[in-house]
Amino acid sequence: MVLRVMVARTSSYVNDRNYSHDYRVIKEVHVQKAGAHYVLRLYNKSLITRLGEPRVLSQADREAGVVEDVNVRLGEDEDGPQGRLVRVEKDGHTFLLFTNLEDIEAELVSLIYRCRWQIELFFKWIKCVLGCRHWLAESQAGVTIQVYCALIASVLLVLWTGSRPTKRQWETLQLCWMGWVTLEELEARLLPRKPP
């Protein structure tokens, strides 16, 4: 599994439910990569054994949707991975967040997971709008150059049009680069005339 290979001791990770079904991997990462921090969303039907009394929630925790903060063991084995479970209920959804971050507030655990979605949306935007679905190079330097070029072009489009570029505007720009759209057609597409 990629998680076993990629985890570094001094880094922090936020993972979705696809990584939570194999408790052995969680324990392996927890034990062998001591010093790595993680927030992992569990399936809502995960087998959880509560260990001890729940922590007292602050007003800020409650406002973030946290309803429980307790130490737990995952799975039915006595030697299953142990950590902290922060249960968040927000907008009709329940999120079970398993973490080894013991010294931060429960609301921050919730915030860490929510911020993950902003990163996901950024990469979706890079892939879908900026057209970086396929890498033109396989090296880290080549991928870096491609992403920087896409971001620079996007910033220039924002400066030119006054708004974030749409997928259609980006496609028109790519067609212009290929010679299929004239500069006049490009300008008409990027700077639509306002009705009188």
pLDDT tens per residue, range 88-121: 998 888 999 998 888 889 999 899 888 887 888 8
62, 82, 115 - which closes a domain: 115
Residues spanned by the domain of 30: 2-115
Shared-domain flag, residues 51 and 29: yes
30 and 63 both lie in a single domain: yes
Instruction: Judge whether 44 lies within some domain.
Output: yes
How many C-beta atoms surround the C-beta of residue 39 within 10 A?
23
Distance CA 40, CA 20 (A): 7
One domain, residues 16 and 101: yes
pLDDT at residue 33, rounded to an integer:
56
Instruction: Specify burial of residue 161 (Cβ count, 10 A radius: 0-12, 13-18, 19+).
Output: middle
Residues 105 and 9 in one domain: yes
Specify if 27 maps to a domain.
Answer: yes
Residues 22 and 75 in one domain: yes
4 Cβ contact partners less than 8 Å away, ≥ 6 residues apart: 25, 28, 29
Distances (CA, A) of 71 to 52, 68, 110, 194: 7, 10, 16, 59
Is 88 found in the same domain as 19?
Answer: yes
pLDDT at res. 161:
77
Last residue of a domain, one of 115, 137, 171: 115
Domains contained in the chain, number: 2
**What pLDDT digit, counting tens, does each position of 134-149 carry?**
777 888 898 888 888 8
Kindly state the percentage of the chain with pLDDT values over 70.
79
**pTM over 0.85, yes/no:** no
Q: Are residues 101 and 142 in the same domain?
A: no
**3-state SS class at 77:** coil
Evaluate whether residue 169 is within a structural domain: yes
3-state secondary structure of 96: strand
In a domain, 39, yes or no: yes
Q: 105 and 21 in one domain?
A: yes
In a domain, 100, yes or no: yes
Positions of the chain with pLDDT lower than 70, given as ranges: 1-12, 17-35, 129-131, 192-196
> What's the confidence (pLDDT) of residue 158?
80
Do 133 and 111 share a structural domain? no
Asked, for residue 158, whether it belongs to a domain, the answer is yes
Residue 66 within any structural domain of the chain = yes
Report if residue 123 sits inside a domain: no
